[in-house]
Amino acid sequence: MDIVFLVSTAEGGKFLLPLVQSCRRAGCTFGAFFTHEGVLGLKDPALNRALEHAARSVACEESWHRFCGEALCPAERGSQTVNSAMMGEARRVVSL
């Protein structure tokens, strides 16, 4: 994977969408891990459509439960161990 985006702020999703679109235009493979308030970005339908092209899109299940309760999660749910693995596979990490 070329880039993994670590989204940990509520505003991070707003910045992620144009970055994901740029990755697609450039032919870069990308993934995203959402944690803490960053999981709130997954409530954006446009971002979710863009993430359909991600190699992997994962929400921290603890954060999802804390900030979104029992709502259906549009991404894979995983642990911080998944986050570490994704970062280890990526050539670059961008934190939002």
Q: Which amino acid is at 66?
A: R
Q: Which helix (H) or strand (E) holds 31?
A: strand 30-34
Q: Return all residues near 88 (Cβ < 8 A) that are at least 6 apart.
A: none
Largest CA distance in the chain: 36
Domain containing 12 equals 3-95
How many angstroms separate the CA atoms of 19 and 17, rounded? 5
Q: Tell me the pLDDT band of 52, cut-offs 50, 70 and 90.
A: very high
Find tokens 């969408």 and name the residue.
Answer: 17
Q: Which helix (H) or strand (E) holds 27?
A: none
Quick one: tokens of 45?
């339908």
What pTM was computed for the model?
0.96
Report the number of distinct structural domains present in the chain: 1
**Per-residue pLDDT at 65:** 97
SS3 state at 30: strand
Mean confidence (pLDDT) of the chain: 96
Q: Residue 74 maps to which CATH number?
A: 3.40.1260.10
**Per-residue pLDDT at 41:** 96
Q: What is the DSSP letter of 41?
A: G
